[in-house]
Amino acid sequence: MNEWKKNLRNIEPYVPGEQSKDTDIVKLNANENPYPPSPKAIEAIKSFPAETLRLYPHADATPLKKAIADYYGVGVENVFLGNGSDDVIALSFQAFFNSELPILYPDITYSFYPVWCRLFDIPYETKPLGADFRINPDDYRGKNGGVIIPNPNAPTSICEGDAFIKKLMEYNGGSVVIIDEAYADFSRYSCVKLTKEYENLLVTGTFSKSRSLAGLRIGFAIGSKALISVLEAVKNSYNSYTVDALSIAAGIASVKDTEYFNATIDRIINTRTRLTDELRTLGFTVLDSGANFIFATYEGRNMRDMFEYLKTKKVFIRYFNLPRIDNYVRITVGTDEETDTLLREIKNYLGGK
Ligand SMILES: *Cc1c(COP(=O)(O)O)cnc(C)c1O
């Protein structure tokens, strides 16, 4: 009876931040950019010759690779592209994490990593963050099947610098180290330059957050030719056309519009500073953020309760019912107006309870 059912995959998927059809909600729960994409990217989509969509896109998406390579000062052969950085990271797990030894990542981090490990049967081991929520590079010393760390880390928002990455690379000459830079543009620190020094360092990035293009799905990786060529081989064993023609066109326009990009990042960083300061004045503990979100708690207050309260006021933030962080909230930095609404509702909550 139902013999076939025993061969079905039973897996616990990643759960993204809630999406809502409501247009009047203040949506600060998925680290999306509150500002539109570059007007040049929008123009590239509007003027796109739609009749050419009958053709497959450029298999290697080379024109977009070239734009990214120029932006970061690396060669085209050092750039890999995918359908969002989740796609790029999932392919990297399959391409590089084939050891019997466990891969290592922090206990508090992007919750997609354990999902991919289970999907691809990759053994893993988590390393606890310090009491200050920082990653200790010494924990990543010794034999392992690979390392993946987001920088800035999520959801803590903390960004580490060159000294940290160099230490990590010195300890891990024997395995591939992936640095997930989904939020790096908001910290103005990137370790891409170190990929020239370390052949086993792969840096991943995305157009979803800093470039306001989460809806298009563009992700990339930068690394040595040795790593990138293996990623290409794995991708071409799976799906040759992961980046569509519209994404290629809009992506190139976005990368070339550095003026708009920098202005948007500046605005978000300014709002982040104001949000952090105001929350601290109210009595919150807010970690120093290098991302487009902040991670906060309030001693003696129930953050889950505040999260639920804000939801009833149509302000969506993120709460994780996980060990060590179950009294924290993660709040995406929105526009100044959204931030005003958020702060008003938080004050109402604190005053009313
Ligand atoms: C958002 C995010 C990603 C992936 O974003 P894509 O939209 O798939 O490009 C990867 N890593 C972290 C830590 C993220 O927060």
- Protein residue with least CA distance to atom 15, ligand 1: 182
Distance CA 81, CA 66 (A): 11
Q: Which of 89, 154, 112, 149 is nearest to 13 (CA)?
A: 112
pLDDT of 22 strictly over 90: no
Read off the pLDDT of residues 94-108 as tens digits, 9 standing for 90 and up.
999 999 999 999 999
pLDDT for the residue numbered 353: 63
**What residues are in contact with ligand 1 under a 6 Å CB criterion?**
31, 84-86, 110, 150, 154, 180, 182, 206, 208, 214, 219
Give the atom of ligand 1 at the shortest distance from the alpha carbon of 109.
13
The CA-atom distances, in angstroms, between 294 and each of 21, 129, 205, 329 are 25, 17, 20, 8
* Ligand 1 center–CA 347 separation, angstroms: 31
Give the atom of ligand 1 at the shortest distance from the alpha carbon of 206.
9
- Protein residue with least CA distance to atom 2, ligand 1: 182
Read off the pLDDT of residues 298-328 as tens digits, 9 standing for 90 and up.
999 999 999 999 999 999 999 999 999 999 9
* Ligand 1 center–CA 4 separation, angstroms: 35
Give the atom of ligand 1 at the shortest distance from the alpha carbon of 208.
7
Q: What share of residues in the chain are helix, strand, coil (percent, to 5)?
A: 40, 15, 45
pLDDT for the residue numbered 23: 78
User: Which of 22-36, 56-70, 230-244, 258-272 is the most confident on average?
Assistant: 258-272
Ligand 1 pocket: which of 15, 110, 115 to mutate (most atoms within 8 A of CB): 110
Read off the pLDDT of residues 175-224 as tens digits, 9 standing for 90 and up.
999 999 999 999 999 999 999 999 999 999 999 999 999 999 999 999 99
Distance CA 84, CA 208 (A): 7
Distance in Å from the first CA to the final CA of the chain:
55
pLDDT of 225 strictly over 90: yes
* Ligand 1 center–CA 287 separation, angstroms: 20
Q: What angle do CA 101, 104, 105 make, to 5 degrees?
A: 160
pTM recorded for the entire structure: 0.96
* Ligand 1 center–CA 110 separation, angstroms: 8
* Ligand 1 center–CA 49 separation, angstroms: 29
Read off the pLDDT of residues 25-62 as tens digits, 9 standing for 90 and up.
999 999 999 999 999 999 999 999 999 999 999 877 89
| DSSP code of residue 90 | H
Ligand 1 pocket: which of 19, 204, 209, 293 to mutate (most atoms within 8 A of CB): 209
